[in-house]
């Protein structure tokens, strides 16, 4: 599309479509990061962001990609050589594993077939066997962005408690925070890892660690080499709303607006909206006669839907057709799923008609790319959306 | 919708969705309207805008609503008491008539049933009878925004020529310019009236008169009282790129960008895009089993589609449901069509997926509002869009 | 300056520097001008703008240049052939006169030497002589933008009252509203004419008529031909917050923000700020040894300062030097003052350091252009600013 | 200032004033970081940014603060326990030292009195003594932001060459790049560390490592634990214009614009502009009778000027007065200079009149805060600016 008209449909599972209100908040002159106006901004966002994590604990905000927040969580909470248990639910969990190994941790993998979430029972069993508590942390990706599977974190915590194991629970909510239900304190999460460019509706560039008392206490004994990621420096400076080094001021302007938008809509309403869109999308996929990558109905992600391509058809070719013909970006299959699935993002600043346009683009793309399917996916989605619209509106 | 998520669908037939690129061009510090930077801007837009009108004649740019450009055309080209022939093709033509009468012109009405365009044959016949050439101008709305009917201007000119009548041809292209084919010079239009907020994709606030030599000559003898609208002052100042009084500088920044966007896509490609979307929309309406306000297949507007409500159902109630449930604005029925039709705008900065979302919103709205219809309109539109997508992309 | 760095200094006496907050408000997607969101916007700005005019009467908002609002005031309040008394205080008053004459009014001129304001006594005397009340309106420019002279409107009203004359009082506040004290109701002004691009800090494109009961009553009998400018259509539609034709929605977004900014700072604080900057500027001019165009100390404008060039030196050449060397725009001499004065705007969104930079540019420009002057103007201004800064801050 | 009018003067030595053109470039919808449009953006900025570093070597772009780029340089080029020679020219060099020590490097300090730059001779002598080449890297801050002293990097390289020592040369150009002359390849710098928020005129959030062949070769043998900062991952992905993890897309939009602006003005013109402003500022300080923190005339920074407070007067109290009274932010004294100096930033998107306003604010602030000084600093600066303006314009 050399001269596309209208809006691009950015339907990858993040970065999500940044609302104008946030873009305009970012489009303000940068201010003195050591002055009183910044201090007030810092105090406000550091306080309010806790509501989105549903925590009363401090949230550390980094200028970095989400990847950085993975690293930060590990090097603060743990020491080199520490054993961690990591559920490899998909490509991003696998990448986290690599990162952990490069940083010198000993990673115990709980593999999956990349079509289901973390197995709480299995985690519990493994921890129960770990009599000497050699496992220092359990790492789970809440919403595995590469597969569209959401792990049940509360169950993982229950299993850990049942095993009476002291390991820390580290959860990656990079693609779930602000889109699907997450309750840091209630679920007993020790470190929550997040990023700006998904449910928070910001451009990429900020990453987060929310830190429980237990994790903070653990960090006091960490022997990991670190400087940029050090929680202590951050927390000390954050007390007055400042940062130990020049923060991404303009993204923080946007964050203030993002938090306000989420709280205005209400977190529960935000989650219900994502759930409704997830269900409508899955109905479309079913109507097309295609398979979901996620095979467990209790673990469907409401953030994105990963669709399995029929044998012999290439997902990337389909995505290219859709991009060039309909100016819509979809997510690629990643890692071992490359070419085998495509991913539809339905998160962030999104509504029924944007979803309808999105599914229309997929259905027309399947047709144009010659991918075997039944028409009627959009129709099925519309029926669900219409049937549930009034209740959604009242909510 | 107290806390709508995602983008509003502004599917009234203008103002159309303003693209970010234009909004960002407008969002620049205002400059000195008498300085050299402004002069260069003025010269550029005054020169380039001609291409959009397909004219080599001057285009006068007013800070005003489109309504102002109607008044400007009349008070410059004509004198009080002059007879004009005006085809009342709908609400906007009727409003233009009122304005003309208030300004002291004697308006001869060529009525229609508001379901078809200007009748060229009838115009020709009336002019042929007007031996004394007492009719000074023929006024036609190119695209009647209230009905979704596009009059065939070239035919009107042919009929005038055939009658050998010297009347000026004044054409309102407020909702057609930059969306459907219009050729000022080739079609022999004397004054073209236009506005910024439709095919030009700008916010409202600018209005235009493109002026033929004949109209300019006529203006020299006009006895109409005028000051703000006077072409002479404008044309004199415009010679160097300036304006006789402070112009809407920031909207002119946007106009420069809008012209660039239209020329980058190519006017013919722009028209083809609108035509394809118009056809897809009409197929949706047919599939729903609803009637179009426009009854002549040769006169369908590709800018908007006016849909007739089934007897006993109120269009405004439907529109309210759609606005409140799906955050989409549709056009109301105007004047005698109030409550009887609703209008779907598919113009300006627009694409296949935005149209799909738009039609989805209408189809779901019909369902929710209990308006008798058959489902499948979106499906019918998608079939047309998919079938023609490849050709559209190549064009 | 082919590649200027930093901010342009737009120090013409309007358009003034548009603050980012207003530009960003304008940079929002256009909304349906007939929908409920617009209605709320319209009602808010139509209500709140009255506070800026210090009136309880309705304010009509046009999409037009300020020039249009001159025309609107005349054609609504008066009838063709009506006699009006117009104080020709400078170029803009002279332009208003021309406009009035073209519109068919009989204009009685009260000339000045363009170095002082309207002579209230003389007005009173003339009205007293007009036993038959043939004069229907007295027209005064509050702040004459071409000379930097502010007429004393309260005195004019007193003189009119003393003469017991029923003429309407029409006041042009295009460059004074929101910058210097103006009290429509208290001063008995019948029609206040204003524009968006000066004290209101918006880009050009909106113009205003605030209308007293007496003016409204007079308009009922007006025989002037009009349509676009008709108060009645506007007031009828405005009742619910709407407009009779598509308004400049995005500028209205900006107007809402502008009003909020003025009221947050407080109108009295805004006026005091302008007064302090006017005084500092005049001290700089005095230190340079140059003359002010305004010769009456009671009538100095706090919006702009017009400086008389020494004999044999061309103001436009100086302005060109300053523009090309320091990227600052100053106002030209207009009409009979062309080349003879230059004008420094110090209005709108402005502060001490911007003024300091402005005066520095003038002082360096005088030096570079070889204009005879004494250095030290900036220094004199700084002394005044510093001496009054603490009080200003407390206010 | 609860309701400041006009523009804030952000005259800290970075973040610098972000030009509207860059803010508006950032204010665009985020795009797919794995799609073709992003690839083109990535390739362009990765290629063009080299011109700003004056290098033909690759530049790695991190989402992070400048601090992160310090860490990145060390952990890629070196191994734990490596000895480095670091010239402690001021607070930022001292902070870099702390960071290096925390990361496990053995830091040899070359202290200064924080009033002059790195002593090339001393470096040469130390290296000459280091027969076993145990020193692996020499670390120098090009422009010490805390003191306003610019070290002469070319001299450092010459001294290293003269000593025939193989240590890498790591240079922090966080506050110099794009403001004062820096030539990575010509001067033989091995790793250049930079940030987005100073001479690059962007908001904070991006940081840079430009990497010589020698540094790249050294990194192959680095035993430092790292993941986020690893050059290899970056360089591999960068080859096609992509990044190993979600980059700060919107800041990269801004970076493209920033590079374009620097190249349009011309790097040499940019440096000359900063030099002229630096000199004017120093003349103002001299006229005030105050001392510069920098005592070596060959090492004056043209980015900022650190001014020493007279004994018994607190710099922070002065800065507060200036912020509250004139809405200008100045830089605080840092570390051991806290309260003892204030710093005037004159970098980035800046011009003569902004500088004049800045110095006016300082001079008035000195007066209001009761700091002993002679008036006339602004006047002295204006004389220099005027005297050199014509040449500057021609350049």
The chain-wide mean pLDDT, for chain D, equals: 97
Q: Do C24 and A29 make contact, defined as CB atoms within 8 angstroms?
A: no
Q: To probe the interface with D, which of C21, C28, C353, C382 has the most D CB atoms within 10 Å?
A: C353
Distances (CA, A) of D264 to A8, D104, D270: 30, 43, 10
Tokens of C363: 């002082």
Closest chain B residue to the Cα of D27, Cα to Cα:
B24
Chains with at least 3 CB pairs less than 8 angstroms from chain C: A, B, D
* Other beta carbons within 10 Å of B237: 15
Give C-chain residues touching B34 at CB under 8 angstroms. 12, 332
Chains with at least 3 CB pairs less than 8 angstroms from chain D: A, B, C
pLDDT of B382 > 60? The answer is yes
Q: Do B382 and A376 make contact, defined as CB atoms within 8 angstroms?
A: no
Q: To probe the interface with D, which of C19, C357, C376 has the most D CB atoms within 10 Å?
A: C357
CA nearest to A84, candidates A158, A190, A225, A186: A190
Burial (0-12, 13-18, 19+ Cβ within 10 Å), C282: buried
Kindly report the nearest CA distance between residue B260 and chain D, in angstroms: 18
**pLDDT per residue over B131-156, tens digit each?**
999 999 999 999 999 999 999 999 99
**pLDDT per residue over B313-342, tens digit each?**
999 999 999 999 999 999 999 999 999 999
Give B-chain residues touching C228 at CB under 8 angstroms. 64-65, 67-68, 71
Q: Do A323 and D35 make contact, defined as CB atoms within 8 angstroms?
A: yes
Q: Do B353 and A9 make contact, defined as CB atoms within 8 angstroms?
A: yes
Alpha carbons within 13 angstroms on the beta-carbon side of residue A271 total 10
Q: Do B71 and C250 make contact, defined as CB atoms within 8 angstroms?
A: no
Give A-chain residues touching D15 at CB under 8 angstroms. 30-33, 246, 249
Interface of B with D (CB under 8 A): 20, 24, 27-29
Chains with at least 3 CB pairs less than 8 angstroms from chain B: A, C, D
Q: Do B251 and C102 make contact, defined as CB atoms within 8 angstroms?
A: no
C213-221 contacts at long range (C-beta below 8 A, 24 or more positions apart)? C213/C57, C214/C168, C214/C190, C215/C76, C215/C77, C215/C168, C215/C190, C215/C191, C216/C57, C216/C58, C218/C77, C218/C78, C218/C136, C218/C168, C218/C190, C219/C76, C219/C77, C221/C79
Kindly report the nearest CA distance between residue B194 and chain C, in angstroms: 13
Q: Do A1 and B393 make contact, defined as CB atoms within 8 angstroms?
A: yes
Q: What number of residues does chain B have? A: 395
pLDDT at D126: 97
- The answer to whether A119 and A172 have CB atoms below 8 angstroms apart is no
Residue whose tokens read 């604005």 = B329
Give the whole-angstrom CA distance, residue A8 versus residue C349: 36
* Other beta carbons within 10 Å of D275: 17
| Phi and psi at residue C111, to the nearest 5° | -75, 155
Positive or negative: CA dihedral B361, B363, B364, B366: positive
pLDDT of D2 > 90? The answer is no
> For chain C, where are the E strands, in sequence order?
9-11, 59-63, 83-88, 106-111, 135-141, 143-144, 149-150, 168-172, 191-195, 206-211, 291-292, 304-308, 328-332, 341-345
Q: Do D352 and C326 make contact, defined as CB atoms within 8 angstroms?
A: yes
pLDDT of C49 > 60? The answer is yes
Q: Do B24 and D27 make contact, defined as CB atoms within 8 angstroms?
A: yes
Nearest beta carbon to residue D353 from set C27, C360, C382: C360
Chains with at least 3 CB pairs less than 8 angstroms from chain A: B, C, D
- The answer to whether D295 and D334 have CB atoms below 8 angstroms apart is no
Closest chain B residue to the Cα of D28, Cα to Cα:
B20
3-state secondary structure of B379: helix
Q: Do B386 and A378 make contact, defined as CB atoms within 8 angstroms?
A: no
The chain-wide mean pLDDT, for chain C, equals: 97
pLDDT of D393 > 80? The answer is no
Q: Give the containing element (helix H, strand E) for C387.
A: helix C377-394
* Other beta carbons within 10 Å of A37: 14
pLDDT at A392: 78
Residue range C340-364: mean pLDDT, rounded: 98
The correct CATH number of C20-264 out of 3.40.640.10, 1.10.3720.10, 3.30.70.1450, 3.30.200.20 is: 3.40.640.10
pLDDT of C394 > 70? The answer is no
> For chain B, where are the E strands, in sequence order?
9-11, 59-63, 83-88, 106-111, 135-141, 143-144, 149-150, 168-172, 191-195, 206-211, 291-292, 304-308, 328-332, 341-345
Burial (0-12, 13-18, 19+ Cβ within 10 Å), A370: exposed
Q: Do D367 and C354 make contact, defined as CB atoms within 8 angstroms?
A: no
Q: Do D351 and C375 make contact, defined as CB atoms within 8 angstroms?
A: no
B9-16+266-394: which CATH topology?
A: 3.90.1150
**pLDDT per residue over C255-279, tens digit each?**
999 999 999 999 999 999 999 999 9
Give A-chain residues touching C24 at CB under 8 angstroms. 24, 27-28
- The answer to whether C143 and C192 have CB atoms below 8 angstroms apart is no
Give the whole-angstrom CA distance, residue B388 versus residue B279: 11
Size of interface A-B (CB pairs under 8 A): 145
Nearest beta carbon to residue A71 from set D15, D227, D323: D227
Is ipTM strictly over 0.90? yes
Q: Do D63 and A68 make contact, defined as CB atoms within 8 angstroms?
A: yes
- The answer to whether C75 and C43 have CB atoms below 8 angstroms apart is no
pLDDT at B148: 98
CA nearest to A300, candidates A128, A176, A172, A155: A176
* Other beta carbons within 10 Å of D384: 17
> For chain A, where are the E strands, in sequence order?
9-11, 59-63, 83-88, 106-111, 135-141, 143-144, 149-150, 168-172, 191-195, 206-211, 291-292, 304-308, 328-332, 341-345
**pLDDT per residue over D32-50, tens digit each?**
999 999 999 999 999 999 9
**pLDDT per residue over D312-340, tens digit each?**
999 999 999 999 999 999 999 999 999 99
Interface of A with C (CB under 8 A): 20, 24, 27-29
**pLDDT per residue over B59-68, tens digit each?**
999 999 999 9
pLDDT of C356 > 60? The answer is yes
Residue C12 CB partners (closer than 8 Å, separation 6+): B32, B34, C329, C330, C331, C343, C345
DSSP string, C264-328: HH-HHHHHHHHHHHHHHHHHHHHHHTPEES---GGGB-SSEEEEEPPTT--HHHHHHHHHHHH-E
Give the whole-angstrom CA distance, residue B145 versus residue B176: 9
Give B-chain residues touching C204 at CB under 8 angstroms. 30, 33, 63, 246-250
* Other beta carbons within 10 Å of D229: 24
Does D9-16+266-394 match D20-264 in CATH topology? no
pLDDT at B56: 98
| B118: confidence class by pLDDT, cuts 50, 70, 90 | very high
Kindly report the nearest CA distance between residue B161 and chain C, in angstroms: 32
CA nearest to D77, candidates D235, D242, D225, D219: D219
Kindly report the nearest CA distance between residue B358 and chain D, in angstroms: 21
Percentage of residues in chain C having pLDDT higher than 70: 99
Residue range B1-6: mean pLDDT, rounded: 78
Give the whole-angstrom CA distance, residue D172 versus residue A168: 38
Max distance between CA atoms of chain D, in angstroms, equals 63
Tokens of D142: 């090009």
Kindly report the nearest CA distance between residue B119 and chain D, in angstroms: 46
- The answer to whether D217 and D66 have CB atoms below 8 angstroms apart is no
Residue whose tokens read 């000026």 = B168
- The answer to whether D151 and D141 have CB atoms below 8 angstroms apart is yes
Burial (0-12, 13-18, 19+ Cβ within 10 Å), C388: middle
Tokens of C31: 């909304």
Size of interface A-C (CB pairs under 8 A): 10
CA nearest to C205, candidates C144, C236, C250, C172: C250
Q: Do C104 and B225 make contact, defined as CB atoms within 8 angstroms?
A: yes
Q: How far apart are the first and last CA of chain A?
A: 39
Give B-chain residues touching C29 at CB under 8 angstroms. 7-8, 10, 17-18, 23
Give A-chain residues touching B378 at CB under 8 angstroms. 356, 360, 378-379, 382
pLDDT of C221 > 80? The answer is yes
- The answer to whether A99 and D227 have CB atoms below 8 angstroms apart is yes
Q: Do D351 and C378 make contact, defined as CB atoms within 8 angstroms?
A: no
Tokens of C184: 């429509």
Closest chain C residue to the Cα of D349, Cα to Cα:
C6
Give the whole-angstrom CA distance, residue D131 versus residue D62: 36
Give D-chain residues touching B19 at CB under 8 angstroms. none
Low-confidence ranges of chain A (pLDDT < 50): none
Torsion, CA A374, CA A375, CA A381, CA A382, rounded to 10: -160
pLDDT at A394: 67
Domain ranges in chain D are 9-16+266-394, 20-264
pLDDT of D291 > 80? The answer is yes
* Other beta carbons within 10 Å of A55: 21
* Other beta carbons within 10 Å of B198: 29
Q: Can you give the pTM of this predicted structure?
A: 0.97
Residue range D85-90: mean pLDDT, rounded: 98
- The answer to whether A249 and D203 have CB atoms below 8 angstroms apart is yes
Q: Do A26 and D26 make contact, defined as CB atoms within 8 angstroms?
A: yes
Q: Do C246 and B34 make contact, defined as CB atoms within 8 angstroms?
A: no
The CA radius of gyration of chain D, in Å to the nearest whole number, is 21
- The answer to whether C331 and C15 have CB atoms below 8 angstroms apart is no
Alpha carbons within 13 angstroms on the beta-carbon side of residue A383 total 13
Give the whole-angstrom CA distance, residue A286 versus residue A289: 5
Tokens of C334: 């207009």
């Amino acid at each position: 599309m050399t001269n596309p008209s209208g809006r691009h449909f950015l339907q990858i599972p993040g970065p999500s479509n940044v609302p104008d209100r946030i873009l305009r908040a970012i489009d303000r002159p940068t201010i003195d990061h050591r002055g009183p106006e910044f201090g007030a901004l810092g105090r406000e966002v550091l306080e309010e962001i806790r509501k989105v994590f549903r925590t009363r604990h401090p949230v550390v905000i980094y200028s970095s990609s989400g990847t950085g927040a993975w690293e930060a969580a590990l090097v603060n909470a743990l020491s080199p050589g520490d054993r961690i248990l990591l559920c490899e639910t998909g490509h991003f969990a696998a990448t986290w594993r690599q990162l952990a190994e490069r940083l010198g941790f000993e990673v115990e993998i709980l593999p999956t077939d990349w079509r289901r979430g973390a197995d709480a029972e299995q985690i519990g069993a493994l921890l129960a066997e770990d009599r000497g508590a050699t496992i220092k942390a359990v790492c789970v990706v809440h919403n595995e962005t590469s597969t569209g599977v959401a792990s049940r974190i509360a169950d993982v915590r229950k299993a850990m408690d049942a095993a009476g194991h002291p390991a820390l629970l580290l959860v990656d909510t990079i693609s779930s925070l602000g889109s699907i239900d997450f309750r840091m304190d209630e679920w007993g999460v020790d470190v929550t890892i997040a990023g700006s460019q998904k449910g928070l509706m910001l451009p990429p560039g900020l990453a987060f660690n929310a830190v429980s008392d237990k994790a903070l206490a653990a960090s006091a004994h960490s022997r990991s080499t670190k400087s940029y990621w050090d929680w202590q420096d951050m927390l000390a400076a954050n007390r007055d709303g400042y940062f130990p080094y020049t923060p991404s001021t303009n993204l923080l302007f946007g964050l203030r607006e993002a938090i306000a938008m989420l709280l205005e809509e209400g977190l529960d309403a935000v989650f219900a909206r994502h759930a409704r869109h997830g269900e409508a999308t899955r109905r479309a996929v079913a109507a097309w006669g295609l398979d979901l990558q996620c095979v467990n109905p209790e673990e469907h992600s409401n953030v994105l839907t990963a669709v399995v391509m029929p044998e012999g058809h290439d997902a990337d070719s389909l995505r290219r057709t859709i991009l060039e013909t309909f100016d819509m970006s979809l997510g690629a299959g990643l890692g071992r799923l490359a070419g085998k699935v495509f991913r539809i993002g339905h998160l962030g600043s999104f509504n029924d008609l944007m979803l309808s346009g999105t599914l229309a683009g997929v259905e027309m793309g399947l047709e144009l790319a010659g991918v075997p399917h039944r028409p009627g996916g959009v129709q099925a989605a519309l029926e669900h959306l219409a049937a549930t619209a009034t209740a959604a509106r009242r909510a």
